[in-house]
Structure 1
Amino acid sequence: MTTSTPLLTLYDIASRPPRQNTCFAPNPWKARLALNFKALPYQTAWVPLPDIPHLRSQTLRLPPARSFADGTPFHTLPILYDPNASSPPGTDRGTASSTGLLLGDSFDIATHLERQYPLSGAGSLFPPQNLDFPSSVTSQDLLIPLSDIQHHSPHVQYALFNNRVDALFTSYTLLAAYNMPLDPPTADLAKAEFVRRAGLSSWEDFHLVGEPRQAMMLSFRDTLRETLAPLFRRDDTGPFLLGATASYADLIVGAWLRMMQRTLSSGEWEQVRGWHEGIFGRLHDALDEYAEVK
């Protein structure tokens, strides 16, 4: 990439200032890590959470990436605008025009970056590897819809991994929800929307404390032990799944770790970092190289 290359734009959810230290949403983090991995010039547009439906459906006219069980669109972020690309996006979750390409799903964004910029940055986001792991959690078990698995994707192993990791971590987001660093001007509206999505009565219903919280933390630890930890032990040269070489699979897990780091108490985050011989703490730290917030 040259200095004259137009900036890409990543749309992320506005969090409490300073946003470089508080942005927490995992799917925008996947896109950010991928952009930094590819060493691409970009800027971040911070969108208040209540404004996202209007941005997607009216301003950008971008189809929803997900829908709730009743068919209601789930308008969410990230969105990537790439002024350097105008070819069809290869997915019905994006739009192309003479002025550039818009994509509204984190996996579609990573796939596009690999196709459009194959030689940029640290190499391939999608090197071949076996990403299968046991998990009993599925998207059908969750209130929040996950992205559809793109079975036609050239990186279907990664698409399946992305879906299963999302399902695993989403099942434990009650640990994170109450302490999300929401943007103060729209915090009350954001809280009301999260309450509505979860089918709860009030924001205080997210306040998990005492023995129930401890039990969920232990369950989270044990689930990681049985699912993702064995994958990261296959190559003991670490810290990544392929040893010293990062891939998009590492970024997927790393994005969720960023959310946990910014929403758990400091003591709980230190617990997560230390679980299973420190696998996830080492992964989080190794991804600092790609974690700049621009």
Structure 2
Amino acid sequence: MSQNVITLYDAPSIAPQPWAPNIWRIRFILNFKRLPHRTVWVEFTDVETTLRSIGAPPTSTRGDNRPVYTLPVIVDPLRSRSHPTILSNAQSIAEYLETSYPARPVFPEGSRALQTLFVHHIQDVFAKPLLPILVPLSHQRLPERSQAYFQGPAYSQLTGPQREQAWRAVKEQFDFLAVVLDKNAGDGDGTVVQGRDLSYADFALCSVLIWIERVSPHDGWSRVRGWHSGRWARLWERCKDYMDVY
């Protein structure tokens, strides 16, 4: 059975559920499209060795031309068992899944360019103020070997005024996004990016919400879910049916 389904490579956590937002984007698409799949868990210490062993392409290249291997990665035997498709990079995987399995589209017709730009904003701008808060908390939830693999000041928790200042910066990003999404008020309830139907952009945004909820449920998520009259909690509920982990 497992040889006949898509394999999604993810990083394990000591928390009950996975949290990595880039990987959740892909899990959302697989669930939304109802594509049979399973998860293989790879500790960060083993990522490069494991991905090289299955022939996965590097995600990027360092300045010294050394290849960089990161998650997510998928192996898709559904189209060809003798020559499975192996892909890295969340955006490339998302586009591949949409092209290869067009039923239940996550890129409604004519929206791919704008959704790609939106997701780029979520990843590189919107989520950036969350890094000093959530990276140390995520580090604590890694297995012991992976925790030891990552060391340095970036993994030290913020406390006191620094932490509150960081949350204010996060709130500013949520405020801006709420204003943008309010422009859809006449095309639905304003919860989702396309107005009425879930799309890739919503899954990218909800992946960040999952990250907050998984690693900071009592501080972070308790704040965020109440912002903007519960808008973000409503988006969570809209996406909830596609949060299964296999």
TM-score, structure 1 as length reference: 0.75
Q: 2:226 aligns with which of 274, 282, 289?
A: 274
2:238 is the counterpart of 1:286? yes
* Aligned match for 1:64, one of 58, 67, 77: 58
1:125 to 106, 121, 130: 106
User: How much has 1:5 moved relative to structure 2?
Assistant: 9.5
Distance (whole Å) between structure 1 residues aligned to residue 149 and residue 221 of structure 2: 24
Aligned residue in 1 for 2:173 = 223
Secondary structure of the structure 2 residue equivalent to 1:80: strand
User: Any idea what the Cα deviations from partners look like across 1:156-189, whole Å, max 9, x if unmatched?
Assistant: 3222222221012034211101211534341433
Q: 2 CA distance for matches of 1:216 and 1:4?
A: 43
Counterpart pick for 1:257 among 209, 212, 215? 209
Pair 1:188 & 2:186 matched = no
Output the CA distance in 2 between the equivalents of 1:71 and 1:270: 43
Q: Distance in 1 between matches of 2:55 and 2:2?
A: 28
Cα deviations by residue, 1:60-104 (Å, 9 ceiling, x for unpaired)? 222221344565433210111110235xxxxxxxxxx94310111
When residues 163 and 73 of structure 1 are mapped into structure 2, their CA distance, relative to the original with a 3 A threshold, is farther
Q: Is the 8 A contact 1:6 1:83 kept in 2?
A: yes
User: When the two structures are aligned, how many residues end up with a matched partner?
Assistant: 241
Q: Secondary structure at the match of 1:256?
A: helix
Q: Is the 8 A contact 2:5 2:77 kept in 1?
A: yes
Indicate conservation of the 8 Å contact 2:57/2:87, yes or no. no
1:175 aligns with 2:166: no
Structure 2: segments with no counterpart, 5+ residues? none
Aligned with 2:11 (options 13, 16, 40): 13
CA distance in structure 1 between the aligned counterparts of 2:223 and 2:63, rounded to whole angstroms = 35
What aligned pairs does 1:99-248 form with structure 2 within 5 A after superposition? 99-119=83-103, 123-128=104-109, 155-168=112-125, 169-180=127-138, 181-192=140-151, 195=152, 200=153, 203=155, 206-226=156-176, 228-236=177-185, 237-248=189-200
Aligned equivalents of 2:3 and 2:217: distance in 1?
41
Match of 1:28 among 10, 23, 28: 23
Alignment check: 8 A CA contact 1:10 1:44 kept: yes
User: Separation in 2 of the partners of 1:30 and 1:254?
Assistant: 8
Deviations 1:232-253 (A, max 9, x none): 2223324212233100000011
Structure with greater contact order relative to length (CA < 8 Å, sep ≥ 6) = 2
The structure with more helix, counted as a fraction of residues: 2
Gaps of 5+ in 1: 87-96, 131-154
1:44 paired residue number: 39
Work out the CA distance in 2 between the residues paired with 1:48 and 1:34: 23
Q: Which amino acid aligns with 1:158?
A: Q
Please, what TM-score do these two structures have when normalized by structure 2? 0.88
Deviation, structure 1 residue 277:
2.1
- RMSD across aligned positions (CA): 2.4
Amino acid at match of 2:220: E
Match of 2:77 among 62, 72, 83: 83
CA positional deviation for 1:265:
4.5
Structure 1 position 217, deviation (Å):
0.3
1:46 and 1:208 map into 2 onto residues whose CA distance is 29
Q: Summarize the Cα distance change of 1:249–1:24 in structure 2 as closer, same or farther, 3 Å threshold.
A: same
